[in-house]
Amino acid sequence: MTMTELYSTEEFERKYTYSGSDLGARWTKEKTLFRVWAPTAKSVKVNLYRSGNPGVEDRIAQIEMKSAVAGTWIAEAEGDQNGVYYTYTVELDEGIREACDPYAVTTGVNGRRAMVLDLDSTDPEGWAEDRNPNAGKRITDAVIYELHVRDLSVDENSGITNKGKFLGVIEEGTRTPEGVPTGLDHIKSMGITHLHLLPSYDYGSVDEAHPELPQFNWGYDPVNYNVPEGSYATDPYRGEVRVKEMKQMIQGLHRAGISVILDVVYNHVYDGKTFCFNQIVPEYFSRTHNGHYSNGSGCGNDTASERSMVHKYIVDSVKYWADEYHIDGFRFDLVGLIDVDTINELVDSVRAKHPDVIFYGEGWSMSTEMTKPDVAMATQHNACRTPNFAYFSDTLRDVLRGSVFDDWAYGYVAGAEGQEELVKKCFMGHPDWCPSPAQTVNYASCHDNMSLFDRLTKSRPDESFADRVRMNNLAAAVYLLAQGVPFMQAGEELLRSKPLPGGGFEHNSYASPDSVNSIKWGDLHKPEYAANADYYRGLIAFRKAHPTLRLTSEEAVREQIHAMEGLDANVVGFHLRGSADDPAAAIIVLYNPNKTPTTVQLPNGRWNICIADRTAGTEPLMSVEGGVSVAPISACVLTLAPVQKSAKKVEKEKLPLLLGAAAAVTAALGGAAALIKRLTKK
């Protein structure tokens, strides 16, 4: 039996599963305790360094660690070690290796040396009072905006000083040269509730030591899971700076009313062989077979979440981000490579302290070489086994814009026919794989693949710019008003485009330059782009104003929403009965992807049109009865006000309540008088 086979046996896990919460470096002013899990090591030493730069030979001391319980090794360093950097030297059958601590909370430049840190000293003023501004709300109440930290600020027209940094995300009062709000002010104006940040932990593809170089990456290449990315900090050499500035960013977003979602990538690492966990316990963290790494992720290695100490590491890491950084949600990259037991435990563990944290991810079914038999993975088709975890709906994405595997294919909003039934299922939050509207994340674009507008331009080059804008907005009207969780890529409201210098559009801009990836703030002063952003604002405001669009169970959807029959080909419509707390007694939602207008007969009543053609919002544009004409390539949404009772009827109903209240007051006064009389006699 090979060592990697031994790792997954019940005997090994029974003997070497450590359940404590003190892995890593635990600082106090008097001393720091170190504990590392290294069950196959012959000896372990902790090295203390003056700096976090691996190119500098400045070791202060080397301390021999002692073997302890369940394969762990422990040591302590007397005195205040805050700010001291450290690594572990591990002696193995394979040789001697020096590695960073997998449980490091911060590091020096490029994540090679961990740092001992007094975490409380990095808390910004008022951090103890910092709270999730959307606490108490349901996942279907969220409107998620996906953003890369650097993309927000690097454009020359952003007006943001801290370009590419955590602090740039929370600068207020920033404007384009024409005076149009940018950055955080723009995001707030959109009305979104949650900001989804692309990977912001320490990743390997950007050299933190040379911020002046033209380098970019999305960050889906983890190096240190519990450490903020140094290239987003104003000083990547000082380990405390990245921690403090990330907390400042989160606090600033919370004060702006925006919750924070962290994009996490536990399914693979930057380099399986050099990853610190695998350096300390060879090949334990990853799925391997005969020395070869499983590669279902397409990134060179897959994480063995089914092994007990990897399972623990992932759970511990997510809990740490929620506890220490007040993270309000987690988006899991390629979560179909992680087992359902790990996902369920981390959700339950986090929500035990933070019940409002939301979880979702990419539940694609992927091929991977498991290290244990009969392990269920967190895929869309296992959604019923992870009831508190939501999944991206590629079903809706592809029906709206066309399959991501064919750049020339176009979807429902661009004129594809015969899609009505699939659109109906997705609007009602019930694609075939989804058991609950609270488990479907609805979207038309994200960082992956072409932007929505580029895809429409690519697949429908014969259409006018104006009609492609209509198609873009029709897609937004579907996913922003559908049952489930709406999700949008930053800049989609600005018709975001990623053109290539030689023509065409970038569909995978993970390492493309800023000229491709940055949000083009200069477009905002152009009337057609400003009008488009206004349309998105109106859709979001309408969704937030109507709880009927945010149901959380299949039963509620079935009771309150009905697809309309007898409409023109390709036209889809829904009649929604208003929830008890909805200002509308009923809502009609109509989608017309055709190039000609369509007329739809309405139920009895006087209906207020709130969304029509290129205009969206909560205020009625006009009222209609009998029927409504829906413009080409557009959505139309109407509301029916609740029946108002006449004043006389209301007063008549109130009379018994008033009489009853008066009688109660009289009785109370009488009782008080009697009590005073008795006390006086005494």
What token pair was written down for 186?
């723009």
DSSP state of 543: H
Return the bridge partners of 89, or none. 45, 98
Please state, in angstroms and as integers, the Cα–Cα distance from residue 121 to each residue in 28, 29, 109, 234, 244, following that order.
12, 12, 20, 18, 8
- Identify the CA nearest to 415 among candidates 400, 393, 397, 394: 400
- C-beta of residue 336 within 8 angstroms of C-beta of residue 366: yes
598-602, long-range: CB within 8 Å, 24+ apart, which pairs?
Answer: 598/567, 598/568, 598/571, 598/629, 598/630, 599/627, 599/628, 599/629, 599/630, 600/564, 600/567, 600/571, 600/573, 600/627, 600/628, 600/630, 600/636, 601/566, 601/626, 601/627, 602/626, 602/627, 602/628, 602/638
What token pair was written down for 343?
């996902």
Q: Can you tell me which residue has the tokens 């007990």?
A: 308
- C-beta of residue 485 within 8 angstroms of C-beta of residue 144: yes
Q: Which residues are catalytic?
A: 333, 362
- C-beta of residue 617 within 8 angstroms of C-beta of residue 610: yes
Instruction: Please enumerate in sequence order all residues whose Cβ is within 8 A of that of 539, keeping only pairs 6 or more positions apart, or say none.
Output: 476, 477, 480, 481, 611, 616
Instruction: Please enumerate in sequence order all residues whose Cβ is within 8 A of that of 57, keeping only pairs 6 or more positions apart, or say none.
Output: none
What token pair was written down for 547?
């709880």
How many CB atoms are closer than 10 A to CB 11? 8
How many CB atoms are closer than 10 A to CB 154? 21
Annotate 121-157 with DSSP letters as a single string: GGPPTTGGG---TTTT--GGG--EEEE-HHHHH-STT
> Residue 191: CA atoms inside 13 Å, Cβ hemisphere, count?
19
Question: How far apart (Å, rounded) are the C-alpha atoms in residues 301 and 288?
Answer: 8
Alpha-carbon dihedral 368, 371, 374, 379, rounded to 10 degrees: -30
Amino acid (one-letter) located at 518: S
Return the bridge partners of 228, or none. 201
- C-beta of residue 627 within 8 angstroms of C-beta of residue 599: yes
Question: How far apart (Å, rounded) are the C-alpha atoms in residues 538 and 57?
Answer: 59
Instruction: Please enumerate in sequence order all residues whose Cβ is within 8 A of that of 269, keeping only pairs 6 or more positions apart, or say none.
Output: 221, 222, 223, 275, 285, 286, 301, 303
Question: How far apart (Å, rounded) are the C-alpha atoms in residues 458 and 450?
Answer: 9
